[in-house]
Amino acid sequence: MIQDLKDYCYKIYENTYITQCKKLTLEKCTSKQNSIEIAAQKAAIKNTIISAMNKFSNIETASIWKVIYEIHIHRKSGIDNSETIAKVISADQSWKKSSGHAFEEMVKVLGNNALNNYNIEIILQKDLNNLIKTHELNNEPRDISWLKEQIKASVFDLYAIINNNGQKFCYGCIQSKTSIRDRVTRDREPSISAMQSFFWSTVIVLDGDFLRLPKFISMVNGGTSEHIMNGWHGMYVFSEKYTHDRIYSTNLELANFKEHAIEAAEFWLHQRQWFNNTWKAK
């Protein structure tokens, strides 16, 4: 089964990477070959993880992600000689840069597929910045000022937008993390700030291995002397292992996330004064 997974992922990754490189080169979208490679890598990672999760639904998402990582490293590391170590280091740095952005875009695609019929859109940070610059966002000035600060600090990866009677409002702040074990404290603080500013604050995580430890569970759910309040309104993990209170299992349909996004949008529009950290989806 694992070898079948590896063979499948290799085929999807290579085909996507080659196709994207040719496409971008023909379109002359950039004069820099490095930019073409980064864009092709992101597309290859995103397409491979979605295709493999569909085909190998009985294999943990984190295991699939690891296989794609190994394929990426193998392609970047090149020949086996004295240069290999340096190339592997370069490949690892390349993976970290491309995979994080690929996961953000994957969340955007899956979120918009799930919420397509509900006047809700998931957008990247750069898209929110454009909405603000073109005066297409109808939040109050206080919100706009706060959102600009988040964009400047690159705190959140994506944002939830509700279209209400032809007006667009940003009501949710979303973090997307392949794993947040080493930076969970840093990610938790801006989330608390978002909830205190009456925004829906969530995080979508690919690898939830850190949630085996009580410390990290309490960082999400609160209720302990060290972490009195919850860190997010909800954390959505691509695994069934870690469901507990505000930690929800999710999949390619983003079922829980979808329902909670709809409920949060409705509450935000009509009872925002009560939308603090204690709010919890039904």
Per-residue pLDDT of the chain (282 residues; tens, 9 = 90+): 789 999 999 999 999 999 999 998 887 655 566 688 899 999 999 999 999 999 999 999 999 998 998 899 888 876 555 567 578 778 888 898 899 899 999 999 999 999 999 999 999 999 999 999 999 999 999 999 999 999 999 999 999 999 999 999 999 999 999 987 756 778 899 999 999 999 999 999 999 888 888 999 999 999 999 999 999 999 999 998 999 999 999 999 999 999 999 999 999 999 999 999 999 998
CA distance 217 to 49: 26
3-state class percentages of the chain: helix first, strand second, coil last, to nearest 5: 60, 15, 25
Backbone dihedral region of 174: left (phi > 0), alpha (psi from -120 to 50 degrees) or beta?
beta
Sorted by where each begins, the domain ranges of the chain are: 2-99, 117-274
CA distance 133 to 148: 10
For 31, which DSSP code?
A: S
Element spanning 116, H or E: none
Q: Scan for tokens 């989806």, then name that residue.
A: 281
